[in-house]
Amino acid sequence: MLPLNATIVRINEDSPSVRTFFFDPQFETMKPGQFVMVWVRGVDEVPMGLSSKNSITVQKVGEATSKLFELKEGDSFGLRGPFGNGFSLPSKGEKTMVIAGGVGAAPLAPYAEAVRNAGSEVHTVLGARSAGDLIFEERFAEAGEVYVSTDDGSKGKKGFVTDVLSSLNLSVYDRIAVCGPEIMMASVFRLLEDRKVLEKSEFSLHRYFKCGIGVCGACCIDRSGLRVCKDGPVFSGVQLLDSELGKYMRDASGRRVKI
Amino acid sequence: MYTLTGLKLKNPTILAAGVLGTTGASLCRVAREGGAGAVVTKSIGPTPKTGHSNPSMVKLDCGFLNAMGLPNPSYPSFLQELEIAKKDSGVPVIASIFGGSPAEFKEVAEGLLPGKPDAFELNVSCPHAEGYGAAVGSNPCLVEAITAAVKDIVSVPVWVKLTPNVSDITCIGNAAESGGADAVVAINTLKGMAIDIESGYPILGNRSGGLSGKAVKPVAVKCVYDLYTALEIPVIGVGGVSSWQDAVEMMMAGAAAVQVGSAVYDRLDIFSEISTGIEAFLQRKGYSDVKELIGLSHEMV
């Protein structure tokens, strides 16, 4: 598949460092948790989780995302995808917990909406550094109950998502979907393991991608050898037992870098 | 069991270099879940390289176009991955290496020896890395010198992977043989390019790259056919093999074994599928040994 030409139709400022780019075309059949390869022509191509059928939500972190932030409505970029496996959807009547940290809320907002549309109750624990960094709080609130945590205490509980989770009864949920910074996901992973609910969980991983289509092997994780781009990016908690999660990841050359 | 340059393979399908070979765990998965008879690592060089910017690989209607740019962690960092692959894959592990000179090839081979690779594959054929790969692999004198330099310091088999982007691939094959190669591997990707007509930008981050997949199979079959005639040493066929029929065709052209790369896109167990298919074919046609297929077409005149 060659890159599609995506024209920016609207840009939303979600926080000082996060923007949502709405584009034309729409991916009608996308599953929440799937990603697209976003090609900022002449610069680089990077993976981004879809935050809706026709949007990506981007944190400005490097060269490609900085260039993306210079684009205006009417400008375009290349898009390949959607790729990978999304979060699994519940059956009617099940209860789902969504745990989102920072820009990790991007693939989880459409998931929470899909869960509600499937007739399943959804509760969200949403964390960020401070009140201004909370992403998609309204979308999660629209879908169900939201518990907020901020590192600085400017909104909700002061601390991390795990501080909110420690006071919740997790055994009532049939599914737990997690996405956020790796340190946060590793803490959540340990907490879910302690509470013996890991088998209900799914995590969306972020790794350096080269091909993005499951051939090159740059994004394979230890010790399973699973490809994040094709076998993931969403993995069950059980698949991540005894894995590199929270310990290290590989850089573009394949060297292990401690987290 | 099937013997290739002294290595014992449970079947004649081998994971090609540059595919799912960056980590030990991934190589083990290809061997165990995929059913490969042997695995070749990502090409490893003297210093860490991040490779070209993305897009580094795109799927076309007729195959794949890629320009990875030899990303690799360098031999000191790759040793631990090689050790994992050796310990847990259960199949021969071939270390693919590259360098810009005979001395660099020697340095990398020497550096990986503690990981005990079962063989080395010399990448003198990557079409899109300046100063490496095909830049050295289109010069017969250099290919002979590089092969001889590595043969000089290792006691395991040395395979040399050839580029089709030359006027006569047998000339390079002969040079590898003269340098002491135990086998040649043909072919690496064909130079290619794709352009995004909406913007005019070449799609690959490196602007151009190498073509693999279905489109290159007839080119690979012809190269293998010619090399089989020209050389004494085994030829390992690679290029667009994505079914057992492709593998049989490659073997009839003269391939002693086949490597599979891009076809892992469709399914990881392509290796099992191919080896089972070959077995069934042998039975149906009444061949007693897969070796009877090798070079068969040369006799059909």
Q: DSSP letter string over A133-182?
A: G--SHHHHHHHSEEEEEETTSSSSEES-HHHHHTTS-GGG-SEEEEES-H
Q: Which of B19, B198, B201 sits opposite A216 (nearest CB)?
A: B19
**Distance (Å, whole) CA A29 – CA A160:** 34
Neighboring chain A residues of B28 at a CB cutoff of 8 Å: 225
Q: What is the pLDDT of residues B157-192, one digit of tens each?
A: 999 999 999 999 999 999 999 999 999 999 999 999
Contact B150, B106 (CB under 8 A): yes
pLDDT score recorded for residue B132: 85
Q: Do A217 and B19 touch (CB under 8 A)?
A: yes
Instruction: Give the containing element (helix H, strand E) for B107.
Output: helix B102-112
Of A5, A209, A253, the CB nearest to B49: A253
ipTM of the complex: 0.97
| Angle subtended by helix axes B75-88 and B24-32, to nearest 10 | 30
pTM, rounded to two decimals: 0.97
Helix H or strand E encompassing B103: helix B102-112
Whether residue A218 is predicted with pLDDT greater than 90 in this model: the reply is: yes
Which residues of B carry out catalysis?
Answer: 126
Sole residue written with tokens 């390079």? B172
Measured between CA atoms, the residue of chain A closest to residue B79 is: A255
A218 exposure class (CB count in 10 Å sphere: 0-12, 13-18, 19+): buried
> Over 90: is that where the pLDDT of B72 sits?
yes
Average pLDDT over residues B100-111: 97
Q: Is the pLDDT of residue B1 over 90?
A: no
Q: What is the residue whose two structure tokens read 């330099």?
A: B149
Quote the CA–CA distance of B231 and B183 in Å, as a whole number: 9
A162 token code pair: 């795990």
- B36 Cβ contact partners less than 8 Å away, ≥ 6 residues apart: B13, B14, B15, B30, B91, B260, B271
Residue A1 has pLDDT above 90, yes or no: no
Q: Are B94 and B130 in contact (CB under 8 A)?
A: no
Please give the structure tokens belonging to residue B138: 């289109």
> Token pair of B296, please?
């068969």
The CA distance from B66 to the nearest CA of chain A, in Å, is 8
> Prior bond to B202 cis, omega within 30?
no
Q: What per-residue confidence (pLDDT) applies to A192?
A: 98
Average pLDDT over residues A170-188: 98
* Mean of per-residue pLDDT scores for chain B: 97
Integer CA distances (angstroms), A75 to A10, A201, B257, in order: 10, 39, 50
Q: What is the pLDDT of residue B134?
A: 80
B127 pLDDT tier (thresholds 50, 70, 90): confident
Helices of type H across B113-190: 134-137, 140-153, 169-178
Residue type for position B250: M
Residue B93: per-residue pLDDT: 98
Tally Cβ neighbours within 10 Å of residue A42. 11
Q: What is the pLDDT of residue A91?
A: 94
- B72 vs A contacts (CB less than 8 Å): 253-254
Compute the residue count for chain A: 259
Q: What's residue A147's pLDDT?
A: 98
Residue A159's pLDDT band, with cuts at 50, 70 and 90, is: very high
* Separation between Cα atoms, residue B115 and residue B292, nearest integer Å: 35
Looking at residue B130, what is its pLDDT? 79
